[in-house]
Amino acid sequence: MARYIIRRLLWGVALLIIVSAVTFVMFRVFPTADPAKLRAGRLQDPKVIAAIRNDLGLNKPILTQFWIYMKGIFLHFDLGYSYYSTAPVKTLIFDRVWATVSLVLGGAVVWLVSGLAVGIVSARKPRSFLDRFSMGGALVLVSAPEYWLGLLVLYAFAADIGQVKIFPGAGSYVGLTSDPVKWFTSLILPWLVVAASNAAVYARLMRGSLIETMSEDYIRTARAKGLTERRVVLRHGVRGAINPILTILGLDIGVLLGSAILVETVFDIPGIGRLNYDAITHSDFPIVQGTVLIAALFIVVANIVVDIAYAYLDPRVRYS
C-alpha cells in the first residue's frame, strides 16, 4: 500500500512538472504579441514594459527563460507578478483560494449526501413513482444554468432582496476565521446552487451503479446470511457501488476548484474564479497564468487522493 501511494505521489509531481512546462509554452511561446506587453495588461507604460522585459529575462535564450520559470515555480512558489494589480500573483491567489475551497468542498458535501441518498432510494425502487420523480427532477436541475439558479434562490431567500428572508444575500461572505457563523450562513445558498446540478448527476450515477451491484453474487450471499435488507444495501451494496462515484468526484472537485466562476460572481464570493474573471477582463496575464497552474494543481491532487481512496476501498487494487 505504501508503495502504491509513493508511486502515485511521484507521478503527481511528474505531472505537475509537465503541466508547468505546457503552461510556459502556452503563455510565453505561443502568443504572437510581445509577452511583455501582454503582461503589462492595459497599462502600456513603456517604462513598465521595459521593466517587465527585464524581469522576465525576455532577452535571454528561451531555454534559460524556461529554467528560470520552472525554478521559480518549484523552488520559490513564485507564480509571477501582476503589474496591473501590483502584487505577486502568489499572494493574490492564496488570499482568494480559501473562499473557493470553502465553496466547493462544502458544496461537494451537500451534493454527495443528497445525491447519494436519492440515488440509493431510487435504486431500491426502480421505476417507481419516487424513482421517476427524482430522476426527472435531476434532469431539470442538470439543465438549469447555475447563474439562473443562483439568481433564483437569491430572489427567493436572500436576506436583502428575497421574498422569504432567511439567508444572507450576495456579497456577505467572510472568512472562516473571522466569523464562523457568518461564514457558514453566507455559504448556504451558494452551496445549494453548486450542489443542485451535481447532486443530480451523482444521484443518477449512484442509482445505476447500485442497481448493477445489487445483482452481484455477494449480495445474494449477504442476504442468505440473514442480514437485514438495510444492512445489505448500505454496507454491502453501497460499498461495492461507490467506485465510479469516486472517479467522477475527483474530477469534479478538481475542476470545480479552478472554475466555480459563475457561482462566485452571482454571490460575489472573493474566490479564484472571480479573480480569474477579473484578470481576463483586464488582460492581466500573469494572474491568468497563475490560476491555470493552480487549477492544474488542484486536479492532480484530487486525482491522487481519489487513487489512494480507491486502494483503500478496493483491496484488489493495492497489488497491481
Partner 1 sequence: MSASEPLLRVEDLRVEFHTGDGVVHAVDGITYEVHAGQTLGIVGESGSGKSVASMTTLGLTRNQGASISGRILFEGRDLVACSDEELRSVRGKDIAMVFQDPLSSLHPFFKVGAQLIEAVRTHQDVSKAKARERAVELLNLVGIPDASRRVDEFPHEFSGGMRQRAMIAMALANEPKLLIADEPTTALDVTVQAQVLALLERLQRELGMAIVIITHDLGVVAELADDVAVMYAGRIVETTSAEVLFSKPEHPYTWGLLKSLPTLEGSRREALVPIQGAPPSLINRPSGCHFHPRCPYSQPEHERIDPKLEPIAGEPNHHVACLLDSETRKRLWAQLSAGDTPEQAQAALGEAGGRP
Partner 2 sequence: MSALVEVRDLVKHFPLTRGIVFQRKVGAVRAVDGVSFEIEQGETLGIVGETGCGKSTTARLIMRLLESTSGEIRFEGEDITHMKGAALKAVRREMQMIFQDPYSSLNPRKTIGSIIGEPFAIHRLNEGKGERRKAVQELMETVGLNPEHYNRYPHEFSGGQRQRIGVARALALKPKLLIADEPVSALDVSIQAQVLNLLRDLQSEFGLTVVFIAHDLSVVRHMCDRVAVMYLGKIVEIGGGDELYDFPRHPYTGALLSAVPVVDPSRHGEQRRLLSGDVPSPANPPSACRFHTRCPKAQPLCSTQEPPLEDKGSGTRVACHYPLTREEVAQIGVRSAP
Which residues are 87's β-sheet partners?
82
Is residue 201 within 8 A of residue 245, CB to CB? The reply is no
Least distance CB 250 / partner 2 (angstroms): 22
The whole-angstrom separation of Cα 235 and Cα 215 is 15
The whole-angstrom separation of Cα 12 and Cα 260 is 23
Q: Which does 207 bind (CB under 5 to 8 A by kind): partner 2, partner 1, none?
A: none
Judged by CB under 8 A, which stretch of 6-14, 148-156, 284-292, 297-305 contacts partner 2? 6-14
- 314 counts as binding partner 1 under rule CB under 8 A: yes
Q: Tell me the three state secondary structure of residue 81.
A: strand
- 10 counts as binding partner 2 under rule CB under 8 A: yes
Give the count of residues interacting with partner 2 (CB under 8 A): 4
Between residues 7 and 239, which has the closer beta carbon with respect to partner 2? 7
- 42 counts as binding partner 2 under rule CB under 8 A: no
State the Cα torsion 210-211-215-220 to the nearest 10°.
60
Q: Tell me the three state secondary structure of residue 87.
A: strand
The whole-angstrom separation of Cα 82 and Cα 288 is 10
- 42 counts as binding partner 1 under rule CB under 8 A: no
Which one among 1, 6, 17, 313 touches partner 2, defined by CB under 8 A?
6
Is residue 39 within 8 A of residue 285, CB to CB? The reply is yes
Side chain identity, residue 231: R
The whole-angstrom separation of Cα 97 and Cα 49 is 29
Report the site for partner 1 in 174-233 (rule: CB under 8 A). 216-218, 220-229
Between residues 61 and 226, which has the closer beta carbon with respect to partner 1? 226
Least distance CB 159 / partner 1 (angstroms): 46
* Residue of 102, 81, 95 lying closest to 194 (CA atoms): 102
The whole-angstrom separation of Cα 116 and Cα 122 is 10
Q: Which does 223 bind (CB under 5 to 8 A by kind): partner 2, partner 1, none?
A: partner 1
- 7 counts as binding partner 2 under rule CB under 8 A: yes
Report the site for partner 1 in 231-290 (rule: CB under 8 A). 236, 239-240
The whole-angstrom separation of Cα 23 and Cα 20 is 5
Judged by CB under 8 A, which stretch of 2-10, 45-53, 133-141, 273-281 contacts partner 2? 2-10
What is the binding site for partner 1 (CB under 8 A)? 216-218, 220-229, 236, 239-240, 313-316
What is the binding site for partner 2 (CB under 8 A)? 3, 6-7, 10
